[in-house]
Amino acid sequence: MDQTTPNYTLPGIMQYLQSQFTIVEKNRMTNELERSNLKARIVELEGERNSLKLLNERLILKVRDLEKKLQVNEPDTVDQIEDSLANLQLETVDVAKLLRARQFLKTTTSEILYLLNSPVVESADPLNLGKSEPRFSDSPAVERDVTPETRPLRHPDLPPRRLTEPTVDDLKSESDAETITSEDPVEVTAILNFSAKIPDITMVTVSGSNIIGVSRSNTLQIFDESLTPVKSFVLDDSIVEIISCRPSRILVATQYSVLLIDLSDMTTTVIHVSGETISHLAFKPSSHAVLIGKQSTIELATLDINTKSLEKKHVLNITSFKVTQATALKFSEDIPFFDVVAFGPFGLFLLNSKTEKDKHVSFKQPIDCQVGSKFAVMKQSGFLTVVDLVDSQESTNFAESSTITGFILDNNDVLAIQRPAGVTVYALGEGVLGKYTNIKGQCLNCDGNLLVSCTKDEIMLYSLP
149-191: per-residue pLDDT in tens? 334 444 444 344 433 333 434 333 333 444 444 445 667 777 8
Sequence-distant (≥ 6) Cβ neighbours of residue 413 within 8 angstroms: 372, 373, 374, 375, 427, 428, 429
3-state secondary structure of 67: helix
pLDDT of 209 above 50:
yes
Residue with the bigger pLDDT between 379 and 33: it is 33
Of the candidates 3, 12, 24, the residue with the CA atom closest to the CA atom of residue 125: 12
User: Which residues, listed in sequence order, are joined to residue 443 by a DSSP beta bridge?
Assistant: 453
What is the helix (H) or strand (E) element at residue 261, kind and residue range?
strand 257-262
pLDDT of 274 above 70:
yes
Q: Which pLDDT score is estimated for 242?
A: 85
Of the candidates 421, 322, 411, the residue with the CA atom closest to the CA atom of residue 371: 411
> Where does residue 266 fall: left (phi above 0), alpha (psi -120 to 50 degrees), or beta otherwise?
left
pLDDT of 458 above 70:
yes
Q: Which pLDDT score is estimated for 448?
A: 64
Q: How far apart, in whole angstroms, are the C-alpha atoms of residue 290 and residue 300?
A: 6
Sequence-distant (≥ 6) Cβ neighbours of residue 299 within 8 angstroms: 291, 292, 312, 313, 314, 315, 316
Q: Which pLDDT score is estimated for 24?
A: 92
Q: Which pLDDT score is estimated for 129?
A: 47
Residue with the bigger pLDDT between 367 and 204: it is 204
B/e letters for 329-352, b = 16+ CB within 10 Å, e = fewer, are bbbbeebeebbbbbbbebbbbbbb
What is the average pLDDT score of the chain? 71
Q: How far apart, in whole angstroms, are the C-alpha atoms of residue 235 and residue 162?
A: 43
pLDDT of 59 above 60:
yes
pLDDT of 369 above 80:
no
Q: Which pLDDT score is estimated for 34?
A: 86
Q: Would the pTM of this model clear 0.85, i.e. be above it? A: no
What percent of the chain has a predicted confidence (pLDDT) above 70? 66
Of the candidates 157, 167, 228, the residue with the CA atom closest to the CA atom of residue 194: 228
